[in-house]
Chains A and B, each alone.
Chain A
Amino acid sequence: MTYHARTRTLALMALFSAQGIVLHIIESYIPIPFIIPGAKLGLANIVTVSALYVLSPVKVLGVIIVRVLLSSIFAGTMITFAYSMAGAVLSYAMMLLLKSILRDKVGLIGISCTGAVFHNIGQLLVASIMIGSIRIISYLPFLSLAGIITGIFVGIASHYLVMSTKRFQAKVNI
Chain B
Amino acid sequence: MIKRQWMVGDFKIKRADLIILAILIILSIVPLFLSANEALANNDIYAVIYVDAQKYKEIKLGEGVSLEFVIEDKDVRNVIVVEGNEIYMSSSSCHDQICVKQGIISKPGQSIVCLPNRIYIEIIGKEVTPVDDISR
Contact = CB atoms under 8 A, between A and B. Distances in A.
Genuine A/B complex:
yes
Interface of A: 37-38, 77, 79-80, 83, 98, 102, 105-110, 113-114, 117, 120, 127, 129-133, 135-141, 144-145, 148, 155-156, 159-160
23 contacts: A77-B116, A79-B118, A83-B115, A106-B14, A106-B20, A107-B12, A107-B17, A109-B13, A109-B17, A110-B16, A117-B24, A117-B28, A130-B115, A130-B118, A131-B53, A135-B122, A136-B111, A136-B113, A138-B34, A138-B111, A141-B29, A141-B32, A156-B8
A129 B50 CA distance: 12
Q: Which of B17, B21, B118 has its CB near the most chain A CB atoms (within 10 A)?
A: B17
Interface string B93-120: 0011011011000000101010110101
Contacts of B53: 129-132
A69 B116 CA distance: 17
B131 interface: no
A124 B9 CA distance: 36
Given A37-B99, A156-B11, 7 more contacts: A107-B17, A117-B28, A129-B53, A138-B31, A141-B29, A141-B31, A155-B17
A117 B14 contact: no
B17 A145 contact: no
B20 A113 contact: yes
A109 B21 CA distance: 8
B115 A148 contact: no
B135 interface: no
Interface of B: 8, 11-14, 16-17, 20-21, 24-25, 27-29, 31-32, 34-35, 50, 52-54, 95-96, 98-99, 101-102, 109, 111, 113, 115-116, 118, 120, 122
Contacts of A108: 11
Nearest to A152: B21
Nearest to B28: A144
A113 B21 contact: yes
A33 to B, nearest CB: 14
A132 to B, nearest CB: 3
B14 A107 contact: yes
A37 B17 CA distance: 28
A131 B24 contact: no
B111 A110 contact: no
Contact of A132 (B17, B50, B95): B50
B21 A110 contact: yes
Contacts of B116: 77, 79-80
B115 A132 contact: no
